[in-house]
Amino acid sequence: MSTDNGSTENGKKPLNKKFLFILGAIFAVIMVVIIAVSVTTCGGSSSSNYGIGDTVRTGSAEVRVTRVSNTSVLGSLSFGESTNDNFVVVTVSVKNTGSGDFTVKSSDMKLRKGSKSYSVHSGSVYLSNPFYLIETVGSGITKTFSVAFETPTSSDEEEYVFSLKGAKITLKGNGSYDDGGGYY
């Protein structure tokens, strides 16, 4: 039961609708800011509009695919891995722009074609500039390594997307990027 001055029997005023609206609006603004900061600080690019030779920032590193090739043999026929399908071999350069170590594991890298995903093949150890399951890149250091993905088709035939810790780079065809600004 309320009295004439708007308070209840125990003397407290009921919560005002305007107060609840303002409180809700403040909460919504705080949530938007938290989400925006999370997306920015986690790094990574949700876009795959980057291609061979483009530098993509992810967290405290810059990632750049410098070469893409296709083969059916990793290493040599007598000492290596072969497939009846195809290996897409990606040479990637990782520059650590942060103040601590940047660690890259094989599970951090994927090759995707539509909804299908391919993991780093163990035969990557037979490549020049091999990737050995885990690489630590020190502050201010750039490391270049090659990884292989076993796929049913080549990157000449299909468009694949290489991803490393949020950086996404579209691969189509064979090619290399030289620092002179072109493919060779």
Report d(CA 81, CA 54) in Å as an integer.
30
Write out pLDDT tens, residues 130-156.
Answer: 888 888 999 999 999 999 999 998 877
pTM of the model: 0.67
Round to whole Å and give the CA distance between 33 and 5: 40
